[in-house]
Amino acid sequence: MNNIQGKAWKFGDDVDTDAIIPARYLNTSDPLELAKHCMEDADTGFAGKVKAGDIMVAGKNFGCGSSREHAPIAIKAAGVACVIAPTFARIFYRNAFNTGLLILESVEAAAAIEAGHEVAINSTTGTIDDLTSGQRFKAQPIPDFMQKLLDDGGLMEHWRKRLESS
Amino acid sequence: MAQTITEKILAFHAGFDEVEPGQLIEAKVDIALANDVTAPIAIAEFEKLGVEKVFDDERVLLIPDHFTPNKDIKSAEQAKILREFAKKQGLKNYFEIGRVGIEHVLLPEQGLVLPGDLIVGADSHTCTYGALGAFATGVGSTDLAAAMATGKVWLKVPETIKVVYHGKLAPWVEGKDLILHTIGILKVDGALYQALEMTGETIDTLPMYGRMSMANMAIEAGAKNGIIAPDEITLDYVRSRAQRDYTLFASDPDAVYCKTIEIDASAIRPQVAYPPLPDKSRSVDQAAADKIEIDQVVIGSCTNGRIEDFRLAASLLKGRKAAPYMRLLIIPGTQDVYRQMIKEGLTEIFLDAEALISPPTCGPCLGGHMGVLAAGERAVATTNRNFVGRMGHPESEVYLSNPAVAAASAILGRIAAPEEVL
Ligand code: SF4
């Protein structure tokens, strides 16, 4: 899934995990159930409006708060293909990788891309193209170790391979 | 090379003499824990891995504390997943209703987390155990599943911010106020990816419950872990509880910090964090002047659900009543805290004050149950988060404070300083 293209949905700084998926829905871990309530308290109806392949563009410290993996799961299950932000909260950052949600760090892209813009992403090179404005951005490279985990198919696949070969 | 306490604990668990910030390590974990929200996903991931047994049946801890006693059918199903897994795996530390408490109050109390430990928990407030001089950090369910199976976790060694607190605390000022004030300075992402080491003469005399409130909220500044070096106060707490050996670590005097912040703790007044972020802290006098009327007060949670917290609240509530139309909820952190409240006559004081006493649970802290807010309602809570919708309706509001401010506010029906009810 190198190439992603979709519409940008904008959110502010410090979007917390209660905004991404309110705790009142955490009595289940079913991705489709969670997706229905994704971003509900920040943008009512988001789950119904967002289309598969769309992109979330947010401010700093995205995903702060709880360790709930339900947050990246809900975003991914809602159809969002990638989240772009200047910085991510650290537990969310790990969880996104572990659940296979693509996230990219870019101060410039997060600031410049406006709501509704058409955005194309090459996840291999980390290039972000705002097709509406014609601007191009480069995301922070993914740390080597994380890349290795991704290449192995995620954390659990990485361990499965290691445990099998030992 | 000189090392911080965080670096030393990480090096020890990774089998190195030393580590440096930015280094990726694979470390052995002493304790891996999850609750009824995060464990079901962790268990599903664990089972996909094809591993028969958890790495250690004494060191994988399952604590159903969030939506228990089961608030509805769905949460009952979640809790059942934990129970069945615990049975199948023969886990020694699964806590059923009647024994369970809020995880971060329960585990230190039971001596299950100890100084020098490396602890990962599928709960962001796992950082609470840093108060004991352990490295403790929150992870997601998948990371936890890997730790449950292998006893290992990969970590990037964080840089450390050192916060030095000077001076003696004024009356009614608690560890909670120190940390709210600190988050107000750092902001909610001020310690992102970093360790937060808290030290100085104020901390040297701060009791364990206050240290736990502080380490508990390190995550609210984005920190990977919060940590306080163990001393006599720590050992007094730990000695009678520990069932296994532990190791004391301390930072070298010339250890390298990415930043040092000096705080005059003697000048701090009780703090109130305004919604919707824990970094919006103001002095209680400001909050009192703002005449903020409230509908509910919650005293409890992993931040302030220990016996000392309830003693503090009771000292103000004694002989007084919650204001009309005011809901005052008292939530002891564990069964032992509950029992102690009864022994000391605190339950009587709370009942006389017309408070509702809940069984130990996270309950309203995360808007789960047992005191959820309606649209337009306002609460003062001794919890740690005041995000939009945290305690219920997205148009409700939560103000964070220490238990004394919460008690005074319950009596007056508006946010109030403890001195106002004396
Ligand atoms: S009391 Fe609140 S913050 Fe603490 S573990 Fe429970 S839900 Fe989380």
pLDDT tens track for B316-366: 999 999 999 999 999 999 999 999 999 999 999 999 999 999 999 999 999
Q: Are B279 and B387 in contact (CB under 8 A)?
A: no
Q: Which of A23, A73, A90 sits opposite B192 (nearest CB)?
A: A90
| Residue A114 confidence (pLDDT) | 98
Mean pLDDT for chain A overall: 93
CB contact under 8 A, B38 and A68: yes
For residue B175, pLDDT beyond 70:
yes
What does the alpha-carbon distance between residue B235 and residue B238 come to, in Å, rounded to a whole number?
Answer: 5
For residue B201, pLDDT beyond 80:
yes
| β-bridge partners, A83 | A56, A103
Query: What pLDDT band is residue B178 in, cutting at 50, 70 and 90?
Result: very high
What does the alpha-carbon distance between residue B344 and residue B348 come to, in Å, rounded to a whole number?
Answer: 9
What token pair was written down for B237?
């707490």
Q: Does any ligand 1 atom lie closer than 6 A to the CB of residue B4?
A: no
What does the alpha-carbon distance between residue A19 and residue A14 come to, in Å, rounded to a whole number?
Answer: 10
For residue B179, pLDDT beyond 90:
yes
- Chain A residues closer than 8 Å to B21 by CB: none
Chain centroid to CA A38: how far?
12
Across the range B251-275, mean pLDDT stands at: 98
Between B218 and A2, whose confidence is greater? B218
Mean pLDDT for chain B overall: 98
Q: Which one of A20, A26, A39 makes the best mutation probe of the B interface by having the most chain B beta carbons within 10 Å?
A: A26
Q: Which residues contact B106 (CB under 8 A, 6 or more apart)?
A: B63, B65, B95, B100, B112, B333, B334
Percent of chain A with pLDDT over 90: 77
For residue B271, pLDDT beyond 80:
yes
| Residue A149 confidence (pLDDT) | 81
| Residue A116 confidence (pLDDT) | 97
What does the alpha-carbon distance between residue B30 and residue B244 come to, in Å, rounded to a whole number?
Answer: 11
Is B389 in the A-facing interface, judged by CB distances under 8 Å?
Answer: yes
Across the range B136-163, mean pLDDT stands at: 97
Query: What pLDDT band is residue A164 in, cutting at 50, 70 and 90?
Result: confident
Q: Does any ligand 1 atom lie closer than 6 A to the CB of residue B362?
A: yes
For residue A17, pLDDT beyond 50:
yes
Q: Does any ligand 1 atom lie closer than 6 A to the CB of residue B358?
A: no
Percent of chain B with pLDDT over 90: 100
| Residue B41 confidence (pLDDT) | 97
Q: Does any ligand 1 atom lie closer than 6 A to the CB of residue B255?
A: no
What letter would DSSP give residue B244? Answer: S
Across the range B68-76, mean pLDDT stands at: 96
- Chain A residues closer than 8 Å to B51 by CB: 163
What letter would DSSP give residue B195? Answer: E
Burial B320-329 (b: 16+ CB within 10 A, else e): bebbeebbbb
For residue A1, pLDDT beyond 50:
no
| Residue A2 confidence (pLDDT) | 61
What letter would DSSP give residue A74? Answer: H
Cis, bond preceding A86 (omega within 30 deg of 0):
no
Q: Does any ligand 1 atom lie closer than 6 A to the CB of residue B306?
A: no
| Residue A151 confidence (pLDDT) | 80
| Residue B26 confidence (pLDDT) | 95
For residue A166, pLDDT beyond 80:
no
Q: How far is A1 from chain B (nearest CA, A)?
A: 22
What does the alpha-carbon distance between residue B234 and residue B201 come to, in Å, rounded to a whole number?
Answer: 15
Q: How far is CA B8 from each of CA B14, B134, B248, rounded to the nearest angstrom? A: 10, 10, 10
User: In 10 A of CB B343, how many CB atoms?
Assistant: 10
Query: What pLDDT band is residue A65 in, cutting at 50, 70 and 90?
Result: very high
| Residue B403 confidence (pLDDT) | 98
What does the alpha-carbon distance between residue A127 and residue B368 come to, in Å, rounded to a whole number?
Answer: 41
Between A41 and B11, whose confidence is greater? B11
Q: How far is CA B63 from each of CA A15, B38, B91, rounded to the nearest angstrom? A: 28, 10, 11
* pLDDT tens digit sequence for B278-312: 999 999 999 999 999 999 999 999 999 999 999 99
| β-bridge partners, A62 | A88
Selected residues 121-150 of chain B with any CB under 8 Å from a CB in chain A:
121-124, 126, 138-143, 145-146, 149-150
For strands A127-130 and A118-122, give the pairing: antiparallel
| Residue entry with tokens 């191009």 | A136
Question: Residue B17: left if φ>0, alpha if ψ -120 to 50, beta else—which one?
Answer: alpha
Q: How far is A67 from chain B (nearest CA, A)?
A: 5
Across the range A108-123, mean pLDDT stands at: 97
- Chain B residues closer than 8 Å to A68 by CB: 37-38, 140
Q: Which residues contact A122 (CB under 8 A, 6 or more apart)?
A: A2, A3
Q: Does any ligand 1 atom lie closer than 6 A to the CB of residue B365?
A: yes
Q: How far is A15 from chain B (nearest CA, A)?
A: 9
For residue A165, pLDDT beyond 90:
no
Query: What pLDDT band is residue A87 in, cutting at 50, 70 and 90?
Result: very high
Q: Are A56 and A84 in contact (CB under 8 A)?
A: yes
For residue B370, pLDDT beyond 50:
yes
